[in-house]
Chains A and B, each alone.
Chain A
Amino acid sequence: DADVTQTPRNRITKTGKRIMLECSQTKGHDRMYWYRQDPGLGLRLIYYSFDVKDINKGEISDGYSVSRQAQAKFSLSLESAIPNQTALYFCATRGLGTGELFFGEGSRLTVL
């Protein structure tokens, strides 16, 4: 099983719908991250969390919200999806020490 699991892997939805992307990890890491990637571009940080009581905004948090339900679970929500939120979304975890990130396989979201 993958260390960082994202669900769903693919989702097509309509403008205005609420969408939740889920991430779970088995690495025991406290730090978890949500990134967004648009075609041909790098990753932009949406939100990050140090533990269940600590949530921080990243570069592009507008239009998104997150929930850290447990150390192992970090969910990203789009309250009212819009077409320019069509992108590939990645969850990542980070352990102490070197700062190496471990990524999930991504959730491809299309908003029509």
Chain B
Amino acid sequence: SQQGEEDPQALSIQEGENATMNCSYKTSINNLQWYRQNSGRGLVHLILIRSNEREKHSGRLRVTLDTSKKSSSLLITASRAADTASYFCAPNTGGFKTIFGAGTRLFVKA
């Protein structure tokens, strides 16, 4: 298992703008997952991208993966106030532990 490092630590944008957050990791992965956590609530799985994929979409979410740079990005288009949350990446190396970084705190102003 390994920990992903999210960047930036915090992001504040206006409603309607796009939000981009990044994740870096250290070793080869099987897949990488993104999770969202609303304040004080449990994490919710958003999207998974496999190591042989470069881009994946789910509604307003777009995830990219660059295995050569060991990095991923999560783009939320046309942000809404309800997108205000913390976002975590989880690189999966095939082990049984999932280690989380500190996440990116996104604040979307109405």
A interface with B by C-beta (< 8 Å): 4, 31, 33, 35, 40-43, 45, 48, 50, 58-59, 88, 90, 92, 94, 98-106, 108
Among B48, B102, B105, which residue has its beta carbon within 8 angstroms of that of A100? B48
Starting from the known contacts A88-B40, A102-B45, 6 additional A-B residue pairs (CB-CB under 8 Å) come to A4-B42, A48-B97, A98-B31, A101-B35, A105-B41, A106-B41
A109 to chain B, nearest CB (A): 13
Decide yes or no whether B81 CB sits under 8 A from chain A: no
- The reply to whether A99 and B100 contact each other, CB–CB distance below 8 Å, is no
In the complex the two chains form, what is the Cα distance from A18 to B58 in whole Å? 44
Closest to A35 in B: B100
Interface size class of B (residues with CB under 8 A): 20 to 34
B interface with A by C-beta (< 8 Å): 30-31, 33, 35, 40-45, 48, 88, 90, 92, 94, 96-103, 105
Q: Which A residues are CB-close (under 8 A) to B90?
A: 99, 101
Q: Which A residues are CB-close (under 8 A) to B33?
A: 98-101
Supposing A106-B40, A108-B40 touch, asked if A101 and B99 sit within 8 A by C-beta, the answer is no
